[in-house]
Amino acid sequence: MISSSKKIEGTPLLDSTKVQIRVIKALFVREMITHYGRKNLGFIWMFGEPMIFTIGIICLWIALRKTTHGTMPIVGFAITGYSSVLLWRHCITRITHSLKANSALLYHRNITLLDIALTRGIFEFSAVSVSGFLLSTFFILTNVINYPADILKVICAWILLGWTCISVGLIFFYLSIKSEFFSRASTVLMYVSVPLFGAMYMVSWIPKEAQKIALLIPTVNSIEMLREGFFGQIVKARYSISYLVTFNIFCFCLGLFLMSRIKKLGFE
């Protein structure tokens, strides 16, 4: 009886974690069904939509007879660059506006604002990840691009980029609840940020005076790391993993703190 009592007392955190995982999984499935339905292609559109966007960009550049960008093949440059842009825009924008479509769910005791925001972020991260993986696999098998030079570095860079997007998304989510103006302006802000994002250039291509400034942008670091893992020594990548991890930890903790300040139903 004593050992049984100790076992029960020692598992509240574990039980709570299991409940939250089930909640997020249920919300994830709901997001998929709500967005894409059960009929026709259904969930395939989850990753099919970002694939179509990326293929469109690739076809546009090929139509302009552009086969390389710097030292990188244009197809590889588009996959690493435009997939990153899609992750940034979709993840943050849809986390920011996720409450409008899901506010009724907050009447369920186990569902919180954080669950809704994290689920939307994980959903968008999964969709763009599958899209990038399938496109990369297809072009590798057709010998259009080479196999990544360091697949582990590619995976780590992509996860760090996704972490950045979700962390910033949580902060934007809070600000959009507190300010209607910010909620409307955030979409414009996403488009304005794209030129600085790091997807369309390498740090080594810009003047040395601007390189230090560029490396203060966390997404630039993760994309530089991503391209070094993808293309190897043909690119001169500059990035700081320690800075990127520190930034992500700070933003994620700040996002969690801000979310904790919002009441579940009052938002005040």
Residue-wise pLDDT tens digits, 224-264: 999 999 998 888 899 999 999 999 999 999 999 988 887 55
**What local confidence, expressed as pLDDT, does residue 2 receive?**
36
**What local confidence, expressed as pLDDT, does residue 5 receive?**
38
Confidence of residue 13 (pLDDT cuts 50, 70, 90): low
Q: Which residue has the higher pLDDT, 238 or 26?
A: 238
Give the pTM: 0.85
Rounded to whole angstroms, the Cα distance separating 99 from 172 reads 12
pLDDT digits (tens, 9 = 90+) for 135-193: 899 989 988 888 999 999 999 999 999 999 999 999 999 998 888 888 888 888 888 88
Rounded to whole angstroms, the Cα distance separating 105 from 111 reads 7
Pair of tokens at residue 42? 């259904």
Read off the pLDDT of each residue in 264-268 and give the average, rounded to a whole number.
Answer: 49
> Which string of DSSP letters, residue by residue, matches 125-140?
HHHHHHHHHHHHHHHH
In the predicted model, is pLDDT for residue 96 greater than 50? Answer: yes
**What local confidence, expressed as pLDDT, does residue 66 receive?**
64
Rounded to whole angstroms, the Cα distance separating 263 from 120 reads 19
In the predicted model, is pLDDT for residue 8 greater than 50? Answer: no
Rounded to whole angstroms, the Cα distance separating 222 from 161 reads 6
Mean pLDDT for all residues in the chain:
82
**What local confidence, expressed as pLDDT, does residue 29 receive?**
79
Rounded to whole angstroms, the Cα distance separating 121 from 8 reads 33
